[in-house]
Amino acid sequence: MLLAAVVVATSGFIFLSVYAYIPDKLQRLTETIGVCQAERSTAPGWNNGPLVTVEDAQRSDAADRRMRTCMSPVLLDQLAFVGGGIGLLFGLAIASHLLHPWWIVRRRRLKRLSAGTSPKLWEDLDQLSHEMGLSRSPDWRLAPFARTAGGQAFGLPWHRYVQLDAGLLVLHATNRPAFRAVVLHELAHLRNRDVDKTYLTIGIWRAFAVVALFPYLVLVVHPELFRTPFGWHWHDIALVADPGATIYRLGSLLVLTGVVYLTRNAILRVRETHADVTAAAHHGGQVGALRAALERLPAPRHWWNRWGPHPHPRRRLDTVNNPGLLFTAGIWELVGVGIATGLICSNLGFLVGINLLNDAVLALAVVGFVASPVAVGLLAVAIWRATANDPVTAPSARTWLACPVALVAGFAGGSFLSLHSAATVRMDGNLVSPVTWVVSTLLLTAGSVLLAGWITSTARGVLMVPEPARWAMPAVVVVAAFVGAVLFAVWLPASLVETGFAVHRSQPPAVGADIGWYAWLATWTDVTLGPVHRLVFNPLTLPALMLCWLVPVLATRRSRVRRPPGHQPIPLRGAFTAGIVGAACVTAIGVALPFATKAALPSRVRQPAEVDGVPFFAIYDAAGITIAAVTVAVVMAVVVARRGPHRPALAILAGSLTAALSTLAIFFVTDPVACHVNVWDFSPAPTRCFGVVYAQSFSRVAHEILVQGVVLAIPIGLVAAVLGQAYRHRRPSTAAPPPPLGRLGQALTAAPLVLLVAFSIWLSLRVLPLAYQVWLEHALG
């Protein structure tokens, strides 16, 4: 998957660059750019000074949409050109794979082995095939001119071959254990289905070099070679003549080609180590012969050979002795995943999504939502495999910290290697500032580390259950990919805007600004962080958070075997208690707040009419939401600070319960109290107070409480986790685990979970009209 993604991203980069070297297409592109920019410059609302009013912003957006519509035909032509090149590349790779058996047999002049030519050898080979668990023996071939004592597995799914070198037949007579070790290693490739992976990998690399890499290098370094056969001629156009852009593309191509080549070698290396372990498992009591054969292999003489297609003999020997090394997280593989994701997001967002969806923010969000699940899913797989190796021991920083950091580092590098970045650097001035880039990258890193922490915690908790359900690992990977996609779709558009992650706060109202604490409250109760509103007005936010606690609960409560006596699936009591106590605190504060507000603030401040600045009604609304959000953050921090498994999932469960109960309390308890107190000085006083306090929707309040609470819980929870870890280190717990729940306790536990799931789904459906206004109405004009 990684190799295919990297090749697609890199080849797309190359074919887009080649497009600019074809004279007819280059001339069409430059003419279209000139015409569209001329139309844009004369459109009303464009370049007519700063955007002051809403009408100015709408006219500017309309001009931008007309510009994108004007550019769509030529950019779609680019897309078709790139798609044709990638199709040719993979078609050649598949053809290479289909033809490789014929080529190997013909080039090496292999001879067929049969029972008639060497009965004893044939009998031993057939026995080894059965020992390896193969349904049928391969087509055995002898390489008569190969003096080495090796072999090679190749072929197609319907016809597998195993080549035996002439020197290997000598071992059959002189050193039978060594002969068995080599043959079992080759048969292990067939059992592990390595042949197709290996030769598709080789075919993809060769096709990439033939179709994309070499033609582009020749075109850039010596374009005159294309003048005579194709009749091409170039005009003095900056897109080709600009040496800066050419150097940038060549440097990017060098790095990306290295990534493709190293990915190809990594696949070949890991196939070898897996075959060694499989052969050792089927070698009976003669594993020593396999170890001896590995010890006799020559070590690479140069450091760059360590990155070649064959693993270091010491690595192979260590893996045979400790198969758990196969499941260590691959840092460099995740760097490659990040590079591919960065390339895809940058190029697709620039060339495809913007023109098809006609809105930059929505296009980048869609591209991020589609591209990021693969990257996050591979991160989850790497963490799960590393955790499964030893779920009892606390995971190392390599698992939950180094892996997500490597993924983000690769993404940042891949973004700068894209064609979009090359064009932006050449045109100068369209990149975000270094400060914005650093802030956005740090936020992406923090989010990735937090998601990796949830994956690690969930994997440990699930793997420690006796015989966990088979769907547990796929479910955790899918949930991680879904959560990552939702967050990344919000992060990606904001990362390309100068003020995307700026902190916004309201200005003090004109009336009441002389009251110091009230002015401070009016300024800070409505503080927002950049794209948080796109999480609030998002029908996928609550389902993503809900799955973060629902999947661990289900995965630990259901097992393929009967749970042993005293087994407690997941401790939900603490999360329920914290959530209920938090909601009770919100209710108590909300009941007392209108009395305190009416006693402290004069009537002129509490008037419901709109005034200059922020009206009191909006401030009171934001204050209630802020109180509930802070309570959610504190509840989550308390759960994280405690001991026990599944703390991230339990913290989200407790925060979700607090947010749900607080929303109900606001609408059905504190709102009617505030209305009866007449804190807004309605004249005349309302006679019906149910449901009149909040003009905004019920779902909007619930989303704001939970989203803002989770954002606040990140710094508070990190501090609480450190303090809790220090406290547990100094005072180890001696308390006995809680007794297992009976049927009645399980039913009482399941009921609020079912209600919370239904409530979350209902809130997500209710927020759809608001989400449409935020995400789509602007895009559709």
596 vs 613, more confident: 596
Q: Give the confidence band of 600 by pLDDT, cuts at 50, 70, 90.
A: confident
How far apart, in whole angstroms, are the C-alpha atoms of residue 287 and residue 271? Answer: 19
What dihedral angle (degrees, nearest 10) is formed by the CA atoms of 105, 111, 116, 122?
A: -70
Mean pLDDT of 658-671: 91
Mean pLDDT of 16-39: 76
Weakest mean pLDDT among 6-20, 502-516, 740-754: 740-754
Q: Give the confidence band of 627 by pLDDT, cuts at 50, 70, 90.
A: very high
**C-alpha distances out from residue 141 to 60, 159, 185, 532, Å:** 71, 13, 16, 64
Using alpha carbons only, how large is the chain's radius of gyration in Å? 32
The reported pLDDT for the residue numbered 409 is 93
Weakest mean pLDDT among 62-66, 141-145, 749-753: 62-66
Mean pLDDT of 746-766: 86
Q: Which two structure tokens, joined as six digits, stand for 358? A: 């006609």
Mean pLDDT of 181-187: 85
Q: Express each pLDDT in 291-315 by its tens digit.
A: 777 777 777 666 666 677 788 888 8
Mean pLDDT of 544-567: 72
11 vs 652, more confident: 652
Where residue 306 falls (left for φ over 0; alpha for ψ -120 to 50; beta otherwise) is alpha
The reported pLDDT for the residue numbered 427 is 41
Residues of the chain by 3-state class (helix, strand, coil), percent to 5: 70, 5, 25
The reported pLDDT for the residue numbered 421 is 65
Mean pLDDT of 557-561: 51
Weakest mean pLDDT among 105-109, 230-234, 471-475: 230-234
Model's pTM, two decimal places? 0.80
The reported pLDDT for the residue numbered 741 is 54
The reported pLDDT for the residue numbered 229 is 58
Contact 685, 667 (CB under 8 A): no
Per the prediction, the chain carries an average pLDDT of 79
- Helices 2-19 and 194-207: crossing angle in degrees, nearest 10, is 10
How far apart, in whole angstroms, are the C-alpha atoms of residue 274 and residue 319? Answer: 9
Weakest mean pLDDT among 218-232, 431-445, 499-513, 599-613: 218-232
Mean pLDDT of 537-559: 87
The reported pLDDT for the residue numbered 285 is 53
Contact 583, 665 (CB under 8 A): yes
Q: Which helix (H) or strand (E) holds 295?
A: helix 287-295
DSSP 300: P
Pairing of strands 151-156, 139-143: unpaired
The reported pLDDT for the residue numbered 52 is 43
Mean pLDDT of 204-212: 90
Where residue 740 falls (left for φ over 0; alpha for ψ -120 to 50; beta otherwise) is beta
How far apart, in whole angstroms, are the C-alpha atoms of residue 490 and residue 612? Answer: 32
Check pLDDT > 50 for residue 607. yes
The reported pLDDT for the residue numbered 779 is 52
How far apart, in whole angstroms, are the C-alpha atoms of residue 750 and residue 770? Answer: 31
How far apart, in whole angstroms, are the C-alpha atoms of residue 341 and residue 362? Answer: 18
Mean pLDDT of 578-604: 91
Q: Give the confidence band of 683 by pLDDT, cuts at 50, 70, 90.
A: low
10 Å Cβ neighbour count for 254?
11
The reported pLDDT for the residue numbered 343 is 80
The reported pLDDT for the residue numbered 25 is 77
604 vs 60, more confident: 604
Q: Which helix (H) or strand (E) holds 163?
A: strand 159-165
**Which residue blocks in 496-602 are alpha helix, DSSP H?**
516-524, 532-536, 541-557, 573-600
The reported pLDDT for the residue numbered 426 is 45
DSSP 233: -
User: DSSP readout, 174-215?
Assistant: H-HHHHHHHHHHHHHHHHTTHHHHHHHHHHHHHHIIIIIIHH
The reported pLDDT for the residue numbered 550 is 93
Check pLDDT > 60 for residue 50. no
Share of the chain above pLDDT 70, in %: 80
Q: Express each pLDDT in 704-732 by its tens digit.
A: 999 999 999 999 988 888 888 777 667 66
